[in-house]
Structure 1
Amino acid sequence: MEQISIIDAKDYVGQTVKIGAWVANKRSSGKISFLQLRDGTAYFQAVVVKSEVPEEVFQLAKELTQETSIWVVGEIREDTRSKFGYELGVKEIEVVGESHDYPITPKEHGVDFLMDHRHLWLRSSQQHALMLIRNEVIRATYEFLNAQGFVKMDPPILTGSAPEGTTDLFETNYFDQTAYLSQSGQLYLEAAAMAFSKVFSFGPTFRAEKSKTRRHLIEFWMIELEMAFMHQEDSLEIQEQYVAYLVQSVLDNCDYALDVLGRDKEILKKYTKLPYPRISYDDAVELLIKNGFDDITWGDDFGSPHETFIANSYDQPVFILNYPKAIKPFYMKPHPTRDDVVICADLIAPEGYGEIIGGSERATDYDYLVEQIRAAGQDEKDYEWYLDLSRYGAVPHAGFGLGLERTITFIAGIDHVREAIPFPRLLNRIYP
């Protein structure tokens, strides 16, 4: 008898197998007990028929409690009534670990209760599906970037300076000096790109931003890319190819998870069509004003309602190009014909999911960078190593960062970014 995982049931139809699983739910109908089982790979139904098993097995099945772990032996059968397509005809059951008074029952629970029990909530079918999609996005990221010739680099998490200012950074003591938890590995990746041409990083970033919106986390994961000898247009093409690749990979490999979440796959297929539309910041402001947004003027950053309207005007992810210099970080390359904007772009997801990528062409002129660092209120001495990049063989280069959790939220079609990470850190939450 072979021990298998539920997800592989399709390969064992008609065979007797052994599975280690947890009882997610159960119901009885007279002489039949139905067990909803999960084993970390998928969920399916096990059927215990009183006339087909010893009395003690049927009685045990009736007494099983939610989240009790078991070994179960039975025959894999096709089940055309379920989305999964297969079930188990039970022959034997052995209890491994009992579970009593499991706190998350099939009834409705409040968000705070579920977040307090996040370590258990991860076992539920929707949370399980989300983590499978998260895993696929990460897997597909490595696949895409490796195929494109990118080299992975690991920038430090503890830094002595802040590329986008220190107002929303976590400060810590680093022996006899001040350090910050990283908000971005970008500057370090720029240095690495001068050595390896095309590089990327994947790791946690931290923002001490006192925001409670459905798009914000205090700790989140970023995929950041830097590319030497590339201009912004080259970068935009990589960005849209990357996002389309992630969406297609989830469609190809997470069919079961998307079904669990009820995500409309036809909508997702639209997001694989390239190129994505582009609109300038100037035109975006004009579009908003024409459509009754009287709370926006040129020079303002866009809020959630603004981004949602712009993206939904195109029904696809859309690039907003060339924001005002005053609202962007010092390292972005100035526009060649305008002093008031920089060469940058945000990729805005449709359906109200907002910005999932921010990127730009990077400034390379030494004097300009020093001027911008000073204008940002930073000490240029903290950036001497970064300024070396403009002293020694500077080349055109561009890069961007993709927020993993926002991208998962967008692809999965869920309401809040907190469900796209195993253990979210929010403004008022650091437990569990």
Structure 2
Amino acid sequence: MKTTIHQVANYLEQEVTIGVWLSNKRSSGKIAFLQLRDGTGFIQGVVAKSAVTEQTFELARSLPQESSMYVTGKVVEDTRSPFGYELQVTELSLIHEATDYPITPKEHGTEFLMDHRHLWLRSKKQHAIMKIRNQVIQASYQFFQKEDFVKVDPPILTGSAAEDTTELFHTKYFDQEAYLSQSGQLYMEAAAMAFGRVFSFGPTFRAEKSKTRRHLIEFWMIEPEMAFFTHEESLTLQEEYITFIVTHVLDNCSLELDILKRDKQVLEQIRSPFPRITYDEAIRWLQEQGFEIEWGEDFGAPHETAIAEIYDKPVFITHYPKEIKPFYMKPDPQREELVQCADLIAPEGYGEIIGGSARIDDLSLLEERYKEHQLSGDSYKWYLDLRKYGSVPHAGFGLGLERTVAWLSGVEHVRETIPFPRLLNRLYP
């Protein structure tokens, strides 16, 4: 029976055939231990000299790392294995013999591994991170479908900016100026006026010359937008969404979290509601702790980390000054200099994973913001139309996938949470 490593539990004490690569091996006299992978998981294949032909045993002992083959054997339980099963091999059929595989079991430097990212993805740790990423994506789709959202795909090439144009990649669109999208939000607002509750999932681009462990040039965002939603209702939805994701990762990626040595008890504490602190309160607290920061300044990584360390859950920082936030955010009715917004800061120094706000739904106020931010009426005319024809209160947010995966996985740098990272100094491979 041909199957995958992930499915071997269904064939206990039966003989199966799996297409695999050899990730590592060791031999001890009359037994060879093969560490095998097929993309769905890892399993040990035990080749006993007494159970196979001489040719098969010699092949098992001599095969180089990352050679590909079909392996046939009986599935048995193995309580010593984190996976719980192993394969008692009876036959090997070589497909391709790899030679001089560059990533050996020894330690390698980060730059070397990044230069060989196309191969580094095969390693057990990187495989575990990508499986967690996949689970976050799957859980996101499940959550939003459950909440009656419709998935809508905004364009990647745009004629206008959602935020600061200095962080955009410019390109020529025939005889016009165009940009790579830094957010699908404005288009998702239009979609929300058609479908009520919508979400997008796609790549975004920031031409920000940052080298921190939290930043990528190209990253993926999940951006929900909700008509007839208040800011408070949006915060509640964000709490439910994060809790849903964490639960799904714990339920479906236990082995991967163990491979990464992630403390699962930390994640098990992540349940709504989340603590909240206002921008004013955060500034006062930071100043009391000796940070040199004034009201009206945005928070940097050290500030966010210090605030997050107070809590064992993600924390919302709410009601920022309008001067440091994008033009579309709705003012706080009690204090016009503030906007109804929130950043969700992950624990353990992983920084902002969600940014969201209520959106301005009043046409005259949005026109004022256009003038203040010197926005082109021609480029954003369609966005004004949303306030002319059936405007409603609405809110939305964006979750950065890579930062979220880094936090859940416990890995230090977001470059390991995307298959092929684009960094300030890296466009290869």
TM range (shorter): over 0.9
Deviation string, structure 1 residues 353-372 (Cα, Å, up to 9, x no partner): 00000000001122211221
Kindly report which structure 2 residues correspond to 1:11-50, keeping only aligned pairs within 5 A, or say none: 11-50=10-49
Give the match for residue 281 of structure 1: 279
Shift of 1:425: 0.5
Mapped to 2, the partners of 1:175 and 1:54 lie a distance apart of 65
Residue aligning to 2:144: 145
Matches for 1:389-404 after TM superposition, within 5 Å: 389-404=386-401
1:256 equivalenced with 2:291 (yes/no) = no
Q: CA deviation at 1:50?
A: 1.1
Q: Using the TM superposition, give the Cα deviation of residue 165 of structure 1 relative to its aligned residue in structure 2, in angstroms.
A: 2.1
1:307 corresponds, among 304, 307, 312, to 304
How far apart, in 2, do the equivalents of 1:379 and 1:71 lie? 61
- Say which is worse superposed, 307-316 or 345-354, in terms of deviation: 307-316
SS in 2 for 1:195: helix
Gapped runs of 5+ residues in structure 2?
none
Contact 1:284 1:320 in 2 (8 A): yes
Q: Could you tell me which residue of structure 1 aligns to residue 77 of structure 2?
A: 78
Alpha carbons 1:374, 1:380 under 8 Å: kept: no
Which residue in 1 is equivalent to 2:338? 341
1:32-64 Cα offsets, whole Å, 9 max, x none, are: 111000010111111111122111111111111
Distance 1:81 1:365 in 2: 63
The one-letter amino acid paired with 1:303 is: G
**Corresponding residue SS for 2:113:** helix
Note the 1:11-410 alignment, pairs <5 A.
11-271=10-270, 273-293=271-291, 295-410=292-407
| 8 Å Cα contact 1:165/1:376 also seen in 2 | no
In 2, Cα distance between equivalents of 1:57 and 1:389: 69
* Local SS of the residue matching 2:171: strand
Runs of 4+ in 1 over 2 A off after TM superposition: none
RMSD: 0.8
Is the contact between residue 276 and residue 316 of structure 1 (CA under 8 Å) also seen in structure 2? yes
- Contact 1:330-1:372 within 8 A present in 2 as well: yes
Letter of the aligned partner of 2:368 in structure 1?
A: E
The offset of 1:296, in angstroms, is 1.0
Give the C-alpha shift of residue 24 in structure 1: 0.2
Q: Verify the 8 A CA contact 1:284 1:310 in the aligned structure 2.
A: yes
CA distance, structure 1, for counterparts of residue 137 and residue 390 of structure 2: 34
Query: Could you tell me how far apart the structure 1 residues matched to 2:378 and 2:338 are?
Result: 26
Cα separation, 2, equivalents of 1:56 and 1:314: 60
Q: Tell me, in whole angstroms, the C-alpha distance in 1 between the residues paired with 2:399 and 2:70.
A: 42
Greater Cα offset, 372-381 or 174-183: 372-381
Supply the distance in 2 between the matched residues of 1:427 and 1:47 (Cα, whole angstroms): 45
2 CA distance for matches of 1:82 and 1:194?
Answer: 52
Q: TM-score, normalised on structure 1?
A: 0.98
Does the Cα contact within 8 Å between 1:406 and 1:417 map onto a contact in 2? yes
The SS at the match of 1:139 is helix
Cα separation, 2, equivalents of 1:197 and 1:303: 34
CA distance in 2, matches of 1:211, 1:61: 47
Query: How far does residue 377 in structure 1 lie from its aligned partner after superposition?
Result: 2.4
- Looking at structure 2, the residues matched to 81 and 168 of structure 1 have their Cα atoms a distance apart, in angstroms, of 51
Q: Give the 3-state SS of the residue equivalent to 2:354 in structure 1.
A: strand
Aligned residue for 1:243, secondary structure, equals helix
Question: CA shift at 1:380, angstroms?
Answer: 2.2
- SS of 1:407's partner is helix
**Cα distance in 2 between the residues matched to 1:309 and 1:315:** 12
Tell me how far apart the structure 2 counterparts of residues 225 and 81 of structure 1 sit (CA, whole Å).
44
Tell me how far apart the structure 2 counterparts of residues 122 and 159 of structure 1 sit (CA, whole Å).
32
8 Å contact kept, 1:36–1:44: yes
User: What are structure 1's unaligned runs of at least 5 residues?
Assistant: none
- Does structure 2 conserve the Cα–Cα contact (< 8 Å) formed by 1:408 and 1:420? yes
